[in-house]
Chain A
Amino acid sequence: MKYCYFPGCSLKGLGRAYEESLLPVMAHLGIQLEELADWNCCGATAYMAVDEAKACVLAARNLALAEKHGGQLLAPCAACYLVLNKTKHYFHDYPEMKRKIDHALSAVGLKYAGDTPVRHPLDILLNDVGLDAIRQKVRRPLAGLKVAPYYGCQIVRPYATFDDQYNPTTMDRLLEALGASVIRYPLKTKCCGGSLTGTVHEAGIRMVYILLNEARKRGAHCLATVCPLCQFNLDAYHAQVTRRYGNVVVPTVYFSQLMGLAFGLPEADLAFKRAAVPFSWRPPPARAPQASVAASK
């Protein structure tokens, strides 16, 4: 299995723990990822607010480059995933937008036919790799770990491409396959506030508080996330939330970090040190055949 990897700006910056854990996990599963050469920013939500046509053109350059390269595009960041998919929808649904995209791409000799599938790692893990293959790789099951599965908005809204819009379960099933106890977390698709934590602090902080507090009340040892901005908000603002609302500190990790842990990959390679709220839970040591022989002696 081979995919064209679109990291996006966050996975090279604030969300680098996502990339640092996803790459070894995918490699461990035998999935080849080749980074899209000279990819540019997807435009995220900010560019859409300035100029929609240009935002679509920015995303379309990446789609065209991926198409030239051949193969499917893997976009782990929720914002990139949404913008790339949205551009694809606009390209097919609105002839006016298609003309603008075609015109801009042809100015630099690029072409986009509208075919490149844009995939999320959860989609690939469940539908291409399969839970059975993942279960076989588990060396240190996450037995006893209570996880709140937090999907955030943009991988299921507005385009539910591989999961249910109202009650997504792909990450729940993945975490269960790793041996974790997935708790019921009704806020799994509630917005984390996005960039509001930085721009309208009062509103942003409150949204983070609601999410953390619900996870704490339900006894979660951690929240598992699929989005660099969600992880940043829930992790980096914990001190400010605590000052304002009292102690609600729960660590927030990427699902890929938990996968690496369950696969028995070296912890140092899974970027746990990148989080402000330390995640100190560790699964019991692997019971490899040799170990049990040693124990019986």
Chain B
Amino acid sequence: MMKVTRTIKYDADRVKGFGREIMRVPGCEELESCIQCGTCSGVCPLSIYMDHTPRQVMALTRGDFKNEVLSSQTIWLCASCYACTVECPRGIRITDIMYELKQRAIHEHIYPSHLPIPVLAREFSEMVKRHGRITELLLVIKLFLKTKPFAAVGNWRLGIDLLKTGRLSMATEKIQNRNELGRMLEAVDEKKGAEA
């Protein structure tokens, strides 16, 4: 049997209201005016690796195709270089829309399981919450342990170079007022709770 998949979307696949919801987020308003010119996909240095190009992600988002967008690799391949944002003839802040989509994918636990990027984002934010600063070596070790424990072995040469040049520190970087930082982040959650 030949296995086939449908390549166009049906109305039944939509999660109605998703596009509107995104367009209400600060920085994402202009999505409504997208003319599907494809400039974003053309200037994106990573679109050659994406399952949906940035132009397609814009169309899918505006068209309420929430599941397709949140589970796509595209949002995680975006390296935040803002090339699309400054080139867009309609002034759409595509990079910020990608950030919003990433946040929702993390929040709803939908992302491609083999991609270490969401894990990096989560570990990064946990470390900032706990210590106030990032210790790069610890972050890298955590990332490898949680995603691909054996890949670290292949990077031995890189590790040796960094040790030789004294760029890795083992001591954990911390700020003094960690309680202050914690209280500030909690205050954001309270405010969200109050608004919900």
Query: Which A residues form the contact surface with B (CB < 8 A)?
Result: 9-10, 12-14, 16-17, 38-41, 43-54, 57-58, 61, 90, 93-94, 96-97, 99-100, 103-105, 107-108, 153-154, 157-158, 165, 190-191, 193-196, 198-200, 202-203, 207, 236-237, 239-240, 273-276
Known: A61-B184, A193-B79. A46 touches B124 (CB 8 A): yes
Do B85 and A157 touch across chains, with their CB atoms under 8 A apart? yes
Q: Are A157 and B26 in contact (CB under 8 A)?
A: no
| Chain B contacts with A in 63-81, Cβ cutoff 8 A | 76-77, 79-81
Which of B46, B95, B188 lies at the interface centre, i.e. has the most chain A CB atoms within 10 A of its CB? B188
B residues 124-183 with Cβ under 8 Å of A? Answer: 124-125, 128, 132-137, 140, 143, 157-158, 161-162, 164-169, 173, 175-177, 180-181, 183
Which of A96, A191, A198, A199 has a CB less than 8 Å from the CB of B81? A191
Chain A to chain B contacts (Cβ below 8 Å), 10 pairs: A13-B134, A13-B135, A40-B175, A41-B133, A49-B99, A52-B99, A58-B184, A58-B185, A100-B188, A274-B166
Min Cβ gap A106→B in Å is 8
Question: How close is B40's CB to chain A, nearest CB, in angstroms?
Answer: 13
Report B141 CB to chain A, min CB distance, Å.
12
Q: How far is the CA of A207 from the CA of B118 in the complex (A)?
A: 21
What is the CA–CA distance of A195 and B192 in the complex, to the nearest angstrom?
A: 30
Whether the pair A50, B121 counts as a contact (CB closer than 8 A) is: yes
Listed residue (B85, B125, B143, B157) with the most chain A CB atoms within 10 angstroms of its CB:
B125
User: Whole-angstrom distance from the CB of A12 to the nearest CB of chain B?
Assistant: 6
Report the minimum CB–CB distance from B91 to chain A (whole Å): 11
Q: Is B89 an interface residue (CB 8 A)?
A: no
Residues of A within 8 A of B46 (CB): 191, 196, 203
Please name all residues of chain B whose beta carbon is closer than 8 Å to the beta carbon of A96 when the two chains form the complex.
Answer: 26
Other-chain contact of A198, B102, B140, B166 (Cβ < 8 Å): B140
**A190 surroundings in chain B (CB, below 8 A):** 45, 81
Task: From B95, B116, B164, give the contact of A199 (CB < 8 A).
Answer: B116
Task: Tell yes or no: B49 within 8 A of A by CB.
Answer: yes
Contacts of A54 in B (CB 8 A): 125, 185, 188
Which B residue sits closest to A46, measured CB to CB?
B124
Q: Given A57-B188, A199-B116, 12 other A-B contacts at CB below 8 A?
A: A9-B135, A17-B167, A46-B121, A57-B187, A61-B184, A107-B186, A154-B81, A191-B45, A193-B45, A196-B46, A236-B161, A240-B158
Structural contact, A153 and B134, CB atoms closer than 8 A: no
Interface positions of B (Cβ within 8 A of A)? 26-27, 45-46, 49, 76-77, 79-83, 85-86, 93, 95, 99-100, 102-103, 106, 115-118, 120-122, 124-125, 128, 132-137, 140, 143, 157-158, 161-162, 164-169, 173, 175-177, 180-181, 183-188, 190-192
Q: Are B132 and A196 in contact (CB under 8 A)?
A: no
Which residue of chain B is the closest to A210 with respect to CB atoms?
Answer: B45
Q: Are A107 and B99 in contact (CB under 8 A)?
A: no
Q: What residue of chain B has the Cβ atom nearest to residue A17's Cβ?
A: B167
Chain A residues lying within 8 Å of B134, measured Cβ to Cβ, are 9, 13, 41, 44
- B79 and A196 form a contact (CB under 8 A): yes
Q: How far is the CB of A227 from chain B (nearest CB, A)?
A: 12
Contacts of A9 in B (CB 8 A): 133-136, 173
Please tell me if the beta carbons of A47 and B125 are within 8 angstroms of each other in the complex.
Answer: yes
In the complex formed, the residue of B with least CB distance to A275 is B165
Q: Known contacts A48-B99, A104-B187, A239-B157: does B79 contact A194 (CB below 8 Å)?
A: yes
State the CA gap A236–B86 with chains docked (Å).
29
Residues of A within 8 A of B157 (CB): 239-240
Contact indicator B165/A276 (Cβ below 8 Å): yes
Residue pair B99, A239 in contact (C-beta under 8 Å): no
> A78 to B155, alpha carbons, bound, how many Å?
26
- Closest 5 pairs (CB-CB, A-B): A191-B81, A157-B82, A46-B124, A153-B81, A49-B102
Known contacts A9-B173, A49-B103, A274-B166; A199 and B120 CB within 8 A of each other: yes
When distances are taken between beta carbons in the complex, the residues of chain B under 8 Å from A104 are: 184-185, 187-188, 191
How long is the Cα–Cα vector from A57 to B186 in the complex, in angstroms? 11
Chain A residues within an 8 Å CB radius of B168: 13-14
Which A residues touch B188, using CB under 8 A? 51, 53-54, 57, 100, 103-104
Q: Which of these, A97, A105, A154, contacts B26 with CB under 8 Å?
A: A97
B154 to chain A, nearest CB (A): 9
Residue in A104, A154, A165, A237 whose Cβ sees the most chain B Cβ within 10 Å: A104
Tell me if A165 and B158 are in contact (CB < 8 A). Answer: no
Asked if A49 and B121 sit within 8 Å, CB to CB, the answer is yes
